[in-house]
Protein backbone atom coordinates (compact mmCIF):
# COMPACT_ATOMS: atom_id res chain seq x y z
CA UNK A 1 0.00 0.00 0.00
CA UNK A 2 1.34 3.41 -0.97
CA UNK A 3 1.85 6.10 1.65
CA UNK A 4 1.35 8.80 -0.99
CA UNK A 5 -1.90 10.72 -0.43
CA UNK A 6 -4.30 10.87 -3.34
CA UNK A 7 -5.85 13.91 -4.98
CA UNK A 8 -8.02 15.91 -2.61
CA UNK A 9 -6.05 14.76 0.44
CA UNK A 10 -6.25 16.93 3.53
CA UNK A 11 -3.15 18.69 4.84
CA UNK A 12 -3.10 16.25 7.79
CA UNK A 13 -2.94 13.31 5.37
CA UNK A 14 -0.12 14.96 3.45
CA UNK A 15 1.77 15.62 6.71
CA UNK A 16 1.37 12.00 7.88
CA UNK A 17 2.67 10.81 4.51
CA UNK A 18 5.80 12.93 5.05
CA UNK A 19 6.62 11.27 8.39
CA UNK A 20 9.21 8.52 8.49
CA UNK A 21 7.73 5.09 7.96
CA UNK A 22 9.10 3.92 11.33
CA UNK A 23 7.45 6.78 13.26
CA UNK A 24 5.21 5.12 15.83
CA UNK A 25 4.77 8.21 18.00
CA UNK A 26 2.74 10.32 15.59
CA UNK A 27 4.72 13.52 16.21
CA UNK A 28 7.36 14.75 13.78
CA UNK A 29 10.83 14.91 15.35
CA UNK A 30 9.83 13.00 18.50
CA UNK A 31 11.12 9.61 19.66
CA UNK A 32 10.46 7.56 22.79
CA UNK A 33 13.65 7.08 24.78
CA UNK A 34 13.14 4.96 27.88
CA UNK A 35 10.40 6.62 29.91
CA UNK A 36 10.97 10.07 28.38
CA UNK A 37 10.62 11.67 24.96
CA UNK A 38 13.47 13.01 22.82
CA UNK A 39 13.10 15.88 20.34
CA UNK A 40 15.51 16.13 17.40
CA UNK A 41 15.70 18.13 14.20
CA UNK A 42 18.31 17.93 11.47
CA UNK A 43 20.52 15.74 13.69
CA UNK A 44 20.35 18.31 16.50
CA UNK A 45 19.29 16.96 19.90
CA UNK A 46 16.80 19.44 21.38
CA UNK A 47 16.33 17.75 24.73
CA UNK A 48 14.45 15.15 26.73
CA UNK A 49 10.85 15.80 27.78
CA UNK A 50 8.24 14.21 30.03
CA UNK A 51 5.50 14.16 27.38
CA UNK A 52 5.50 13.70 23.59
CA UNK A 53 3.54 16.96 23.28
CA UNK A 54 6.32 18.92 25.02
CA UNK A 55 8.91 17.31 22.75
CA UNK A 56 6.75 18.17 19.71
CA UNK A 57 6.54 21.79 20.88
CA UNK A 58 10.34 21.97 21.12
CA UNK A 59 10.62 20.47 17.63
CA UNK A 60 8.09 22.98 16.25
CA UNK A 61 9.87 25.94 17.85
CA UNK A 62 13.18 24.77 16.39
CA UNK A 63 11.63 24.10 12.97
CA UNK A 64 10.12 27.58 12.87
CA UNK A 65 13.46 29.08 13.90
CA UNK A 66 15.41 27.07 11.31
CA UNK A 67 13.04 27.12 8.35
CA UNK A 68 10.66 30.02 9.01
CA UNK A 69 6.89 30.00 8.48
CA UNK A 70 7.09 27.42 5.68
CA UNK A 71 8.41 24.77 8.11
CA UNK A 72 6.52 21.47 8.36
CA UNK A 73 5.46 21.40 11.98
CA UNK A 74 3.28 19.25 14.20
CA UNK A 75 0.94 22.21 14.66
CA UNK A 76 0.02 22.11 10.95
CA UNK A 77 -1.03 18.48 11.35
CA UNK A 78 -3.24 19.22 14.36
CA UNK A 79 -4.54 22.80 14.22
CA UNK A 80 -5.56 22.68 17.89
CA UNK A 81 -1.92 21.94 18.81
CA UNK A 82 -0.21 25.17 19.87
CA UNK A 83 3.57 24.72 19.54
CA UNK A 84 4.22 27.26 22.28
CA UNK A 85 1.53 26.19 24.77
CA UNK A 86 3.15 24.82 27.88
CA UNK A 87 6.51 26.32 27.01
CA UNK A 88 6.41 28.16 30.31
CA UNK A 89 7.35 24.76 31.79
CA UNK A 90 10.72 25.07 30.05
CA UNK A 91 13.36 26.86 32.09
CA UNK A 92 15.76 29.45 30.75
CA UNK A 93 18.41 26.75 30.76
CA UNK A 94 16.17 24.53 28.60
CA UNK A 95 15.73 27.33 26.04
CA UNK A 96 19.46 28.17 26.11
CA UNK A 97 20.24 24.51 25.45
CA UNK A 98 17.83 24.38 22.51
CA UNK A 99 19.14 27.62 21.03
CA UNK A 100 22.79 26.63 21.61
CA UNK A 101 22.16 23.31 19.87
CA UNK A 102 20.72 25.17 16.89
CA UNK A 103 23.58 27.73 16.84
CA UNK A 104 26.21 24.98 16.96
CA UNK A 105 24.71 23.38 13.86
CA UNK A 106 26.58 25.91 11.69
CA UNK A 107 25.42 27.64 8.51
CA UNK A 108 22.09 26.55 7.15
Domains plus CATH for the chain? 24-103 (3.30.730.10)
For position 37, what pLDDT does the model report? 93
For position 55, what pLDDT does the model report? 92
Identify the band that residue 19 occupies on the pLDDT scale cut at 50, 70 and 90: low
Residue 45, SS3 per DSSP: strand
* Angle subtended at Cα 86 by Cα 60 and Cα 40, rounded to the nearest 5 degrees: 30
To the nearest 10°, the Cα dihedral for 54, 57, 58, 64?
A: 180
Alpha-carbon distance of 73 to 82, in angstroms, equals 10
Are the C-beta atoms of 60 and 83 separated by less than 8 Å? yes
Are the C-beta atoms of 44 and 66 separated by less than 8 Å? no
Summarize pLDDT for 36-89 with one digit per residue, the tens: 999 999 889 999 999 998 999 899 889 888 888 888 888 765 555 565 666 666
For position 2, what pLDDT does the model report? 45
Amino acid sequence: MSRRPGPGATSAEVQRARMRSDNTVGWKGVQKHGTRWRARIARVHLGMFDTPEDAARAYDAAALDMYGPQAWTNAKDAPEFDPFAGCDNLTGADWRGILDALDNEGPR
